[in-house]
């Protein structure tokens, strides 16, 4: 019997799908609508000090046919009256006692933290999330990512919060830092019950070529925004993995955020150690209804793999994520083109000849547009299979006999790493490279 309910640091929810603190959680109306659609939890739009928002607020990267492949905002925390938010929070909890309602908070002084924590607890919040991530506006006032980028300050504030809070506390981290484990560890040392990540990535999504102002434009100028949406998922997955593999940090549960749109994204975050997830951009793009596909997909995956709960597979990808030095240098794959599937577009030839290793050749018969792989030249980089527009037309096939396992680390220990470029053991030595004359001759043919 599949059970996707979660108990995240003591916060219980019918499923791991939560809304991230953002416009979709700006009001009780929206959160109730989201719970009806199937979301198991919601992190309320950050509450804190009075703010004023600007218009416009959002920008995006539209990549080819995909709108909002990356999304940027310069919005601040909630600008609605705190009393209205607290009253609505209480009402939502009354109607949905079994769903998770988490209050995201961002204030400045210790006294302000103590006061607002008491207020949201009195309103019935199931947990608190500390917003140490906002990379615009609030950080200029010493809050948001200004805290997330200073582990010692973060630890102090988490300590204040832990001393005051009676409900579970999630520390939400900023990705705008070199080593995410620094603030992650600081949060755990400060006593946090859980971590969530990522907040938005400091960014400029584009420049208007008429006015030279960055998007989103506010009366002729702009400022850096916070980047999110599908484009940031790889950054989020990496940072999640960094925390989930860290022995001191992974004592607390981690909520994964960043670019989640489908059930596959959810499963990937769980496989890397998250035990709940939060979504913002995908809901702003497609609405609350996307949770239905997420739930059906997650359950289908669990059924197929015979997992009863998400805890049965949480973190299962972590042992597979290692350091480069531990990868098998003897593993060898080569590209193979399926002549039946090939449509003769020759994109693979162009990519390999101009951007990789000159391992794909065109037929001498100009009627035959299907290229072929020169196996000896192929280094197995994958590029052709990534550019090929036909699914499974180029496959990477294993060519080594699986008998050897040799890593850079093993070579280092045996003192056998190449120490000159001429060394027979050096990687590129012996790889085919066309002569410069070949380029010259092609030029003469132009």
Ligand X SMILES: Cc1cc2nc3c(=O)[nH]c(=O)nc-3n(C[C@H](O)[C@H](O)[C@H](O)COP(=O)(O)O)c2cc1C
77 binds, among ligand X, ligand SF4, none (CB under 5 to 8 A by kind): ligand X
Provide the β-strand partners of residue 227.
72, 201
If binding is defined by CB under 6 A, does position 390 make contact with ligand SF4?
yes
If binding is defined by CB under 6 A, does position 336 make contact with ligand SF4?
no
232 binds, among ligand X, ligand SF4, none (CB under 5 to 8 A by kind): ligand X
Separation of CA 403 from chain center? 36
Cis peptide preceding 56, ω within 30 of 0 = yes
If binding is defined by CB under 6 A, does position 363 make contact with ligand SF4?
no
Question: For the residues of 182-233, what is the DSSP string, one character each?
Answer: HHHHHHHHHT-SEEEE--PEEE---B-TTT-PBSSPBTTB---EEEESGGGH
Long-range contacts of 151-154 (CB under 8 A, 24+ apart): 151/182, 151/183, 151/185, 151/186, 152/186, 154/183, 154/186, 154/187, 154/190
If binding is defined by CB under 6 A, does position 357 make contact with ligand SF4?
yes
Active-site choice (134, 228, 342, 388): 134
- Exposure string of 344-379, with b = 16+ CB inside 10 Å and e = fewer, is eeeebbebbbeebbbbbeeeeeeeeebbbbbeebbb
Nearest to 201 by CA among 220, 224, 218: 224
Alpha helices in 82-129 (DSSP H): 82-95, 110-122
Please, which residue, 296 or 343, has the CB nearer to ligand SF4? 343
Q: x-or-dash pattern for ligand SF4, window 244-263, by CB under 6 A?
A: --------------------
If binding is defined by CB under 6 A, does position 343 make contact with ligand SF4?
yes
Please, which residue, 277 or 383, has the CB nearer to ligand SF4? 383
Q: For residue 131, give both structure tokens.
A: 């917003």
294 binds, among ligand SF4, ligand X, none (CB under 5 to 8 A by kind): none
Which residues lie below 8 Å from residue 102, measured CB to CB, with a gap of 6+? 11, 18, 41, 42, 43, 44, 125, 126, 127, 128, 129, 170
If binding is defined by CB under 6 A, does position 350 make contact with ligand SF4?
no
Catalytic annotation present for 134? yes
Among 211, 363, 382, 397, binds ligand SF4 (CB under 6 A): 382
Count the alpha carbons within 13 Å of 351 in the hemisphere toward its beta carbon.
16
Report in angstroms how near the CB of residue 65 gets to ligand SF4 at its nearest. 19
46 binds, among ligand X, ligand SF4, none (CB under 5 to 8 A by kind): ligand X
Provide the β-strand partners of residue 64.
none
Q: Name the segment binding ligand SF4 (CB under 6 A); options: 35-43, 59-67, 254-262, 337-345.
A: 337-345
Please, which residue, 223 or 413, has the CB nearer to ligand X? 223
Cis peptide preceding 216, ω within 30 of 0 = yes
Q: By rule CB under 6 A, what count of residues binds ligand SF4? A: 28
Report in angstroms how near the CB of residue 27 gets to ligand X at its nearest. 13
If binding is defined by CB under 6 A, does position 11 make contact with ligand SF4?
no
Q: What does the binding site for ligand X look like in residue numbers (CB under 6 A)?
A: 20-23, 45-46, 71, 73, 75, 77, 104, 131, 133, 172, 199-200, 228-229, 232, 257-260, 279-282
194 binds, among ligand X, ligand SF4, none (CB under 5 to 8 A by kind): none
Please, which residue, 184 or 380, has the CB nearer to ligand X? 184
Q: Name the segment binding ligand SF4 (CB under 6 A); options: 117-125, 126-134, 180-188, 335-343.
A: 335-343
Q: Are 230 and 220 in contact (CB under 8 A)?
A: no
DSSP secondary-structure letter at 243?
H
22 binds, among ligand SF4, ligand X, none (CB under 5 to 8 A by kind): ligand X
Enumerate binding residues for ligand SF4 (CB under 6 A). 335, 337, 342-348, 351-352, 356-357, 359-360, 371, 373, 378-384, 388, 390, 393-394
Which residues have a catalytic role annotated?
A: 134
């Amino acid at each position: 019997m599949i059970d996707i309910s979660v108990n995240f640091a003591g916060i219980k929810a019918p499923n791991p799908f939560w809304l991230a603190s953002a416009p979709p959680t700006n009001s009780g109306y929206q959160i109730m609508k989201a719970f009806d659609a199937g979301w198991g939890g919601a992190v309320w739009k950050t509450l804190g000090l009075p703010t004023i928002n600007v218009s416009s607020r959002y920008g995006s990267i539209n990549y080819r046919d995909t709108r909002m492949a990356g999304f940027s905002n310069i919005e601040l925390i909630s600008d609605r009256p705190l009393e209205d938010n607290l009253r609505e929070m209480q009402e939502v909890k009354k109607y949905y006692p079994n769903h998770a309602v988490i209050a995201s908070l961002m204030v400045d002084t210790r006294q302000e933290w103590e006061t607002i924590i008491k207020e949201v607890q009195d309103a019935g919040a199931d947990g608190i999330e500390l917003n140490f991530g906002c990379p615009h506006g609030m950080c200029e006032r010493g809050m948001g990512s200004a805290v997330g980028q200073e582990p010692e300050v973060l630890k102090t504030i988490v300590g204040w919060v832990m001393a005051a809070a009676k409900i579970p506390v999630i520390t939400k981290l900023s990705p705008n830092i070199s080593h995410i484990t620094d603030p992650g560890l600081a949060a755990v040392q400060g006593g946090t019950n859980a971590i969530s990540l990522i907040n938005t990535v400091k960014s400029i999504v584009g420049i208007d070529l008429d006015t030279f102002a960055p998007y989103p434009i506010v009366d002729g100028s702009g400022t850096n925004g916070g980047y999110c949406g599908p484009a940031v998922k790889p950054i989020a997955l990496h940072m999640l993995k960094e925390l989930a593999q860290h022995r001191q940090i992974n004592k607390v549960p981690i909520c994964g955020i960043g670019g989640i749109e489908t059930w596959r994204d959810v499963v990937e975050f769980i496989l890397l150690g998250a035990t709940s997830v939060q979504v913002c951009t995908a809901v702003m793009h497609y609405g609350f209804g996307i949770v239905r596909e997420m739930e059906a997909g997650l359950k289908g995956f669990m059924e197929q793999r015979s997992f009863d709960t998400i805890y049965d597979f949480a973190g299962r990808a972590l042992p597979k994520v290692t350091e480069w030095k531990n990868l098998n240098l003897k593993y060898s794959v080569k590209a193979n083109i399926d002549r039946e599937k090939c449509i003769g577009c020759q994109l693979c030839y162009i990519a390999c000849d101009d951007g990789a290793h000159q391992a794909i050749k065109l037929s001498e018969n100009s009627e035959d547009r299907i290229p072929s792989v020169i196996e000896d030249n192929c280094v197995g980089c994958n590029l052709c299979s990534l550019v090929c527009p036909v699914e499974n037309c180029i496959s990477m096939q294993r060519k080594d006999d699986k008998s050897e396992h040799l890593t850079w680390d093993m070579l280092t220990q045996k003192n056998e790493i190449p120490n000159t470029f001429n060394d027979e053991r050096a990687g590129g030595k012996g790889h085919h490279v066309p002569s410069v004359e070949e380029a010259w001759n092609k030029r003469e043919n132009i």
